[in-house]
Chains A and B, each alone.
Chain A
Amino acid sequence: MTNVLWLQGGACSGNTMSFLNAEEPTVCDLIADFGIKVLWHPSLGLELGNDLQNLLQDCVSGKIPLDILVFEGSVVNAPNGTGEWNRFADRPMKDWLTDLSQAAKFIVAVGDCATWGGIPAMSPNPSESQGLQFLKREEGGFLGKDFVSKAGLPVINIPGCPAHPDWITQILVAIATGRIADIALDELHRPQTFFNTYTQTGCTRNVHFAYKASTGEFGQRKGCLFYDLGCRGPMTHSSCNRILWNRVSSKTRVGMPCLGCTEPEFPFFDLQPGTVFKTQTVMGVPKELPPGVKKKDYAILTMVAKDAAPAWAEEDFFTV
């Protein structure tokens, strides 16, 4: 039996909703077939007649073994570090976190708010939000740079806005089945198995990227969204085009630019005027290039690609 306690801070429940879409395993399978016991969850927990505060206290004291603490939403510190703007069970949520983080064997941060602070932490960050162990790319966050949970691991970060349900279920199952040691984390504590490749990996518009054929505006079935519409697919670590969303698709497949939501900087440029759905360029060249690509090489690549591009690269590709 693996006990899971799921709490929410400055959250929208998007990760919970995403989690409920899980298939193979479904949330019900997780409980029936993988020995996961949900001690409490804000939208699923059934504590009729039970005192949630006592349950939380029992987790804190160790009376109930807390195997996995899942946290969704940012850690709210406002006003002035007190956390009173996010009260839960008559106490600032951050105080519960302080206590529970000492008791939990593993801590899993689900979604951008819990990992890096996410949208609430966008400038001017009125709620003084942080992630559990990061604020944006800066290490530390609420629990501190050196924090490790009882099992000796830092907070396992499953970013995304929201996180993909399979990323969540697979990590829970890995812990429940004693396989978590096989999972390598990257420098941002993300499981590499999901975050080593790029969002672009598996994108159906890849061939247009290669030939520098652009999607000039929305509602088209051709071209790549990187050149004009601000797509961050080549620079973003995620498996969105390998492990599809809701079994069927991904943003870039349908023609929506990737917003880079698995990276700590999301939402990029703080959504300043002129940065939404528009590629940032200098002299017509994208300011940000795929990681490891040099500007000079990119220019050569562009010339060659454009020269080599077949006529069909500029035509409607995925016809009706």
Chain B
Amino acid sequence: MTIQTLDISPVGRVEGDLDVRVDIEDGRVVNAWTHAELFRGFEIILRGKDPQAGLIVTPRICGICGGSHLTSASWALDTLWSTEVPRNAILARNLGQIAETMQSIPRYFYGLFAIDLTNKKYRRSRYYEEACRRFAAYTGKSYEIGVTISAKPVEIYALLGGQWPHSSYMVPGGVMCAPTLTDITRAWAILEYFRTNWLEPVWLGCSLERYEQIHTYDDFMDWLDEDRNHRESDLGFYWRMGLDIGLDRYGAGVGKYVTWGYLAHEDKYQKPTVEGRNAAMIMKGGVYDSFSDTHSLMDQSFLRENTTHSWYDEGTADIHPSDRTTKPTANNTKDFENAYSWSSAVLHKDFGRLEAGPLARQLVAGGNHGESWQHQDGFILDAFKNMGGANVHLRQLARVHELVKLYRQAEHCLREFKLNDPWYIKPTEKDGKGWGATEAARGALSHWVEVEGGKIKNYQVIAPGTWNIGPRDGEGKRGPIEEALIGTPIYDSSDPVEVGHVARAFDSCLVCTVHAHDAKTGEELARFRTA
């Protein structure tokens, strides 16, 4: 029996190296612990600062989802100051969010995930040589196209925000920019370039219209068989290879899923309130419980945080995130019986631990809950049922499936801008509490802000990583990635690529490093990066 430790870094909320310890028995993972290894203390930094400090500081929590943090931070202030947000501004915020996520998908898929398909473990797969041709780091044909094309969508973000990453163009009351015909035309052209140079020819092997006819798993498999171009596209090739090498056979997780929903409807959320948010999102929020096959609505009041196994001196009770005080423990010694992570454990008061991310979004999109006008799409939910639940492979499919939908939403924003209408309505600053949320590419993100005496009294963030990477909770229950690692087959304990696949399937933003230790000697056998 060997024990392996996997380091993932960074993690959304405290953004740092996260280690994962796994126990392996008879070639399979039987236990796992995830722990975040960097603390910067953003919530502490924000205390006592200008109410709008979050617009500058929180994007810097994560350079990958900075626009998502900005989205949450600005909506939080909107609800706090009871602003009016003009229609144009809602569209401009949505377009920024969409552009960031469209950047993230190819960058993540090629740069962080697919390169591992070239791992020697798969050399016996009949897809292996082609995988190397396509996905090899820096030199693979698709890798180079994919990583380069990933810079294109954020050019649209820059047309609105001046730059990506780290603009603060979204502000309570709207946006700072007032795009002109030039900006909108260029944005359209960039979007088209993305479609005609990569999305259709390289990724899908078909038109967006043809892909949009896929509504069930059978439709998808029929699409695959229908045309050589579908099979040989990067999506078609990846799907076939993943089935061949068994990526569909492990990485299940907790079986319950959460999304806040995102993209505020431009006509339904001009007077933002915390209570009114969820019913005003185009992509609906909610919780999907696969054990009872039920969907339910999500609300920020359902959230709890637990720091029993985290390096904070804040007790062991489940508390609401807005009640947290963020008191880091100076001595962060790893103790797997007690505290072993900078991440807290996040829970739903009724459902417990939930998985966040693209898979969660798509499983919720398949439900009949929410408003009748909200986006509904049953494809991934159907695939989930066909495949017997979640797995590494399906998480990838869910993530890339959003590309075409986001493309359509981007078109919608560009169509709907009315260039002579307002982009900003100056709000009146006041004390109080606010909450804002969105979906970053990698899952549910929310900010709580409390302002007293004209300065921040408390600022709390729950990032996708906090949901997924959190350690055991007060009841000792494993977090989503810890749970997803259980049962993972390890083909070669000196190179446990599968542990990497599972961790990467959650797209934990960056690096994970796997060390494998021989349990008897504690000798380290291997280490490699995952993301």
Contacts and interface: CB of A to CB of B under 8 A. Distances in A.
B328 to A, nearest CB: 7
B41 interface: yes
Residue from B53, B66, B165 having most chain A Cβ neighbours under 10 A: B165
A120 B44 CA distance: 10
A88 interface: yes
B9 A8 contact: yes
A52 B513 contact: yes
Interface stretch (B54-62, B275-283, B379-387): B54-62
Interface in A189-247: 217-221, 240, 245-247
B173 A218 contact: yes
23 contacts: A12-B10, A23-B151, A46-B115, A48-B497, A49-B494, A51-B526, A52-B528, A87-B37, A120-B45, A126-B45, A219-B89, A245-B163, A246-B157, A246-B163, A247-B155, A255-B176, A256-B161, A259-B168, A271-B49, A273-B48, A273-B454, A276-B51, A320-B180
A85 B38 contact: yes
Contacts of A270: 49
Contacts of A27: 138, 147
Chain A contact residues: over half helix, strand or loop, or mixed? loop
Contacts of B155: 246-248
B503 interface: no
A32 B139 contact: yes
Nearest to B181: A320
Contacts of B164: 21, 245-246
Interface in A108-140: 118-120, 122-127, 129
A126 B41 CA distance: 6
B173 A271 contact: no
B504 to A, nearest CB: 11
Given A16-B510, A254-B159, 8 more contacts: A18-B63, A20-B107, A43-B112, A45-B511, A87-B37, A254-B169, A256-B176, A276-B56
A46 B454 contact: no
Interchain residue pairs A-B with the least CB separation, the first 3: A14-B63, A219-B424, A126-B41
B213 interface: no
A144 to B, nearest CB: 23
A86 B60 contact: no
A252 interface: yes
B13 to A, nearest CB: 12
B111 A256 contact: no
A161 B169 CA distance: 15
Given A28-B138, A120-B41, A320-B181, A13 B111 contact: no
Given A42-B9, A48-B119, A52-B513, A246 B151 contact: yes
B63 A13 contact: yes
A127 B56 contact: no
A87 B17 contact: yes
Nearest to B513: A52
Contacts of B422: 219
Interface of B: 7, 9-10, 15-17, 37-41, 44-45, 48-53, 55-57, 60-64, 66, 86, 89, 107, 111-112, 115-116, 119-120, 137-139, 143-144, 147-148, 150-151, 154-155, 157-169, 171, 173-181, 186, 328, 330-332, 342, 419-420, 422-424, 426, 454-455, 494-495, 497, 509-511, 513, 515, 524, 526-529, 531
Contacts of B494: 49
A318 B64 CA distance: 32
Interface string A24-43: 00111001100000101011
Interface residues of A, number: 89
Contacts of A249: 158-159, 162-163
A134 to B, nearest CB: 18
B196 to A, nearest CB: 18
Contact of B165 (A80, A162, A259, A318): A162
A122 B64 contact: no
A10 interface: yes
B449 to A, nearest CB: 13
Given A87-B37, A88-B17, A161-B60, A218 B158 contact: no
A98 interface: no
A277 B164 CA distance: 19
Contacts of A51: 524, 526-527
Contacts of A22: 151
Nearest to B190: A248
A270 B48 CA distance: 10
